[in-house]
Structure 1
Amino acid sequence: MRPLRLSTAALSAAALLLTAASTTASAHGHDTTTHTPGTEFADGFETPVVPPPAPFTTHPGGQTAGPWAVGGHSVDVSSDRLWDAAEGSQSLDLNGTTSGSVSQQIPTHPLISYVVSFELAGNPAWAPALKTGELRVDGVPVKTFSFDVTGRGFRNMGYVRQTAVFTSPLKNSVTLTFASTSPGPGGPVIDDVRIRSCLLVLCPHVA
């Protein structure tokens, strides 16, 4: 494998971004060690715990599900007593009785890009077979996603890793939202949400 070689311009751009980010953070009294490139956020929907023997817990819009604010109609936090999680023992169905969403304010660093990744499957118990949704940053869609549950089951969920990249504007947080665009009581299922930061010139290509 040939070693990665960055041009002088790319290295200069990276240095400028680091300098700008550090200056902005200092001006706002922020600890620059918390949001430097490589920092991760992770959430596998392990809280709140679904009380046994219940297979899932429905959270209506306007309430919370752990650190997430629920929007739309409702969402279900689902235990592995119902179906397999991608990570840990719980996952999130973005459709409770019908389509819902979850949002959380995420600390960001100005002029830094962020890679969001998550596991995607779908509730195989309900039509339609194609589950669809959106990942939004401050209300703006940055990725649409879909999952076909044909041939899938509770012990064969078929999770697929999804990724998206967004760049933080000149502020210190954004609102990250996962929203279903599917009707009915069974929607996209997400799990193992992770966010890591990267410099614009060093971010991986994301289709």
Structure 2
Amino acid sequence: MLPLRLSAAALSAAALLLAAASTTASAHTHDTKTHTTVPDIAGGGFETPVVPAPSLFTTYLGGQAVGPWAGGGNSVDLTSDRLWDAAEGSQSLDLNGSTSGSVSQEISTHPLTSYVVSFELAGNPAWAPALKTGELRVDGVPVKTFSFDVTGHGFRNMGYTRQTAVFTNLLKSSVTLTFASTSPGLGGPVIDDVRVRSCLLVLCPPVS
């Protein structure tokens, strides 16, 4: 999580803006505890493009689009459940193709708003090293490092775990989310079911 330090004057200005926003809060999705809006995030389940049968995966080089995601680094593998189980749907993303790669997507954001990014994490069990590592970045700045040990896991026992991170946007109208592998080799961290939700800066619940 990125540290946030605001002066008393900035907090006062934020309070005034939040009070003004409350008059139009009904225009947004909300619950009884927090005001939430959902930014545009596409392809969080990595279901498109479809890996054509009978292929087990499709490799995308850095610079190629993976559906709504922009590929970076060396390469990534869009993987069908014909090879291993997805966390949801029938496809997931190995962040290592030939070696470490990444995917990025720009999402719209609102001022004075915090965002919770969550995703399912596992690892390619077919290749060393056993410990797969990566980063979630916002505009190139790491907000979460993550790791997954594939020991004891296999193609039909991937062991996905839910990961969460929070970042705070003060003034930008959009940011770029990047999932990047920091592991070498042919098998990297595997991600699926990426979701983003927002909450007002002063009301965002802590990440568990």
Instruction: Determine if the TM-score, normalized by the shorter chain, exceeds 0.5.
Output: yes
Verify: 1:149 aligned to 2:144, yes or no. no
Question: Match of 2:184?
Answer: 183
| Residues 28-43 of structure 1: pairs in structure 2 closer than 5 A | 33=28, 37-39=36-38, 41=41, 43=44
Moved more, 35-44 or 144-153: 35-44
Distance change in 2, residues 1:20/1:105 (3 Å): farther
CA RMSD of aligned residues (A): 2.5
- 1:159-186 deviation line (CA, Å, top 9, x unaligned): 0000000011311100000000000010
| CA–CA distance in structure 2, aligned partners of residues 163 and 46 of structure 1 | 21
- 1:111-134 deviation line (CA, Å, top 9, x unaligned): 100000000000000000000000
Question: Match of 1:56?
Answer: 57
| CA–CA distance in structure 2, aligned partners of residues 188 and 197 of structure 1 | 25
Distance change in 2, residues 1:169/1:84 (3 Å): same
Is contact 2:73–2:102 with CA below 8 Å preserved after alignment? yes
Q: Deviation of residue 20 (structure 1)? A: 6.4
Structure 2 gaps, min length 5:
1-11
Question: Match of 1:18?
Answer: 18
Distance change in 2, residues 1:77/1:100 (3 Å): same
| CA–CA distance in structure 2, aligned partners of residues 20 and 132 of structure 1 | 43
| CA–CA distance in structure 1, aligned partners of residues 133 and 17 of structure 2 | 35
Question: Match of 1:29?
Answer: none
| CA–CA distance in structure 2, aligned partners of residues 98 and 122 of structure 1 | 14
SS in 2 for 1:18: helix
Question: Match of 1:135?
Answer: 136
| CA–CA distance in structure 2, aligned partners of residues 21 and 62 of structure 1 | 40
Structure 1 gaps, min length 5:
1-11, 24-31
Residue type of the alignment partner of 2:36: P
Is contact 2:100–2:184 with CA below 8 Å preserved after alignment? yes
Residue type of the alignment partner of 1:39: V
| Residues 44-193 of structure 1: pairs in structure 2 closer than 5 A | 44-193=45-194
| CA–CA distance in structure 2, aligned partners of residues 175 and 155 of structure 1 | 33
Identity level (%): 82
Moved more, 153-162 or 38-47: 38-47
Is contact 1:21–1:112 with CA below 8 Å preserved after alignment? no
Q: Deviation of residue 199 (structure 1)? A: 1.3
TM-score when scaled to structure 2?
0.84
| CA–CA distance in structure 1, aligned partners of residues 16 and 152 of structure 2 | 50
| CA–CA distance in structure 1, aligned partners of residues 29 and 205 of structure 2 | 21
Is contact 1:120–1:162 with CA below 8 Å preserved after alignment? yes
Is contact 2:93–2:192 with CA below 8 Å preserved after alignment? yes
Distance change in 2, residues 1:111/1:99 (3 Å): same
Moved more, 166-175 or 146-155: 166-175
| CA–CA distance in structure 2, aligned partners of residues 188 and 195 of structure 1 | 20
| CA–CA distance in structure 2, aligned partners of residues 107 and 126 of structure 1 | 37
Question: Match of 1:201?
Answer: 202
